[in-house]
Structure 1
Amino acid sequence: MTGLATTAFAANSVLCRLALSHAAIDPATFTLVRLASGTGVLCLMLSLRRKHERPGGSWPASVALFVYAVAFSFAYVSLPAGTGSLLLFGAVQATMVGYGLVRGERLSALQWFGFTIAVAGLAAIVAPGASAPSVTGACLMLTAGAAWGAYSLLGRGIADPLGATAGNFTRSLPIAICLSLGALSFGTDLTSGGIALAILSGAVASGIGYTIWYAALPGLTPAQGASVQLSVPVITALAGALVLGEALSLRLSISSLAILGGIALVFSSRERALSSSS
């Protein structure tokens, strides 16, 4: 289940990039269709689990979810799938670790080393150069990662993550509709292929993907759950090369090693510290 979930997460990036790079749909409509189809699947899963159950969630988490989804879509207008996934994942983990530091969490020397390497990797991938990604796209994806990190933090300790996710997706829809209506004045690109890709992203990669992930989480420790997500940017980069013909540049490879290796150091050290204290 963990393998299926991480593959679904990677598929989100590939599907979004495939739709937007071919102008099959505009980013605002992609966001709306993705959130709407994801809402439908999650609410269906919720109704199948227990009848007459109302979705949970909160408005702050729903806003964070929407900011993630819309920044994610607009970023992939100009970013390759692998680069976008790496920026997204790095920003998510940096946000969560940074929040822990603000709250007074102490890191060991090895954890600080890993965190510094990861941040340096993020800086390297957006630094000016011939293979540098779009500045606008990179900033949007970093914003998406920070929003997803905030969404994850807001969801900590929730007893029913599936119900909360269904509720958050539902609440995000009115905001996405307003965005899509506002984008109409600038013109929209819409094809049946683009709609199909957005539905696959929302219903399968997001709705079913999140459901599988929540089913897999009870069998993983927190550090394992965080560490296994290290595979998502790698899967995305490989899929981007196979499906989209994107090049695996030296800058992306080195930055990937720095970011993913640094984060792995942070979480592996944390796991050892928790094990020794228990």
Structure 2
Amino acid sequence: MTRARVFTLTLLALVAFAGNSLLCRVALKHTAIDPASFTSVRLVSGALVLWLLARSRAAQAGPAGNWRSALALFAYAVLFSWAYVSLTAATGALLLFGAVQATMIGYGWWMGERLRARQLFGFVLAVTGLIGLLLPGLSAPPLQGSLLMLAAGAAWGIYTLRGKGSGDPTRVTAGNFLRAVVPTAVLSVATLPWASLDARGVAFAIASGALASALGYIVWYAVLPRLKVSTAATAQLSVPMIAALGGIVFLGEAPTLRLVVASAAILGGIACVVMPSESAAARRA
């Protein structure tokens, strides 16, 4: 795979991840679809595309995955949708990404990994940025939506941790999406009295599930082995920024000073934690 192709596929995957925030926000803000219906359509369409891809690649094997990961995936998707009822695309993506990284860093610490001085500084900086973003004030995001998105990020972090070393990413992701359809069906039945659908909202949900989620994950996992750990970690830092730019261009969302400062603190702090030190990089070279 050439460098140009690696770069193109990496950019495509990152745009897809940011696209989930934009598609969900625009659907819940500008169409009649409700959060539960958006979640259901997203997961079902994603499961269908992933199942077809898994079958085409290994007809005799089929999807893999497990129920615990599927429930973490379902929790992420549900919380993500309800959070975007009130959050802007940029704020939601920032909170989501921060919570994902915090969950994974916290798990590493729990398993015995210790932070070096630079990493500890970065962790404190990121937490300070998060607290500053959520402090009460005219420009603070809605607390309920913020807490929902933080919980969504924690669920996605758990899903990511459970997926490490679990086998072929396409088959595993397909199996988890297919299993997540079961609680999704229960959610749809439970929220049927409040269900609201329209063609545009369903189209956005299908795009989120089939394109931004299913194909985005496939592209990312395909290119990930070609990237250095530091490159992959740095690349993911761009997702909230891409979402913010998309929110400005497509949704007319104006970034606040608080969001800009908090973004710099959170993303800069995370970069200090996840980026390997020069000595560590030299040892791997």
Find the aligned partners of 1:146 and 1:95 in 2 and give their Cα distance.
6
TM-superposition CA deviations, 1:19-38 (whole Å, max 9, x none): 00124210001001000000
**What do you get for the CA RMSD once the two structures are aligned?**
1.1
Structure 1, 242-251 or 40-49: larger mean CA deviation: 40-49
Shift of 1:152: 0.5
Structure 1: any 5+ residue segments left out of the alignment? none
Shift of 1:86: 0.2
- Contact 1:27 1:74 (8 Å CA) reproduced: yes
TM-superposition CA deviations, 1:110-161 (whole Å, max 9, x none): 0000111111111111111101111110000000000000001101112211
Map 1:1-278 → 2, pairs under 5 A: 1-185=9-193, 187-268=194-275, 270-278=276-284
Q: Look up the SS of the partner of 1:84 in the other structure.
A: helix
Q: Look up the SS of the partner of 2:64 in the other structure.
A: coil
Q: Look up the SS of the partner of 1:225 in the other structure.
A: helix
The one-letter code of the counterpart of 2:38 is F
Shift of 1:44: 1.3
Find the aligned partners of 1:162 and 1:95 in 2 and give their Cα distance.
24
The one-letter code of the counterpart of 1:275 is A
Find the aligned partners of 1:65 and 1:216 in 2 and give their Cα distance.
22
Q: Residues 53 and 214 from structure 1, CA distance in 2 versus in 1: closer, same or farther, beyond 3 angstroms?
A: same
Q: Look up the SS of the partner of 1:107 in the other structure.
A: coil
Q: Residues 183 and 158 from structure 1, CA distance in 2 versus in 1: closer, same or farther, beyond 3 angstroms?
A: same
Find the aligned partners of 1:102 and 1:51 in 2 and give their Cα distance.
39
Share of identical aligned residues, percent? Answer: 54
Find the aligned partners of 1:200 and 1:240 in 2 and give their Cα distance.
17
Shift of 1:106: 1.1
TM-superposition CA deviations, 1:23-81 (whole Å, max 9, x none): 42100010010000001111111122222222111111111000000000000000000
Q: Look up the SS of the partner of 1:233 in the other structure.
A: helix
- Contact 2:169 2:218 (8 Å CA) reproduced: no
- Contact 1:23 1:189 (8 Å CA) reproduced: no
- Contact 1:223 1:271 (8 Å CA) reproduced: no
Q: Look up the SS of the partner of 2:63 in the other structure.
A: coil
TM-superposition CA deviations, 1:6-26 (whole Å, max 9, x none): 000000000000000124210
Moved over 4 A (4+): none
Find the aligned partners of 1:91 and 1:228 in 2 and give their Cα distance.
17
| Length, aligned pairs only | 276
Structure 2: any 5+ residue segments left out of the alignment? 1-8
Shift of 1:273: 4.5
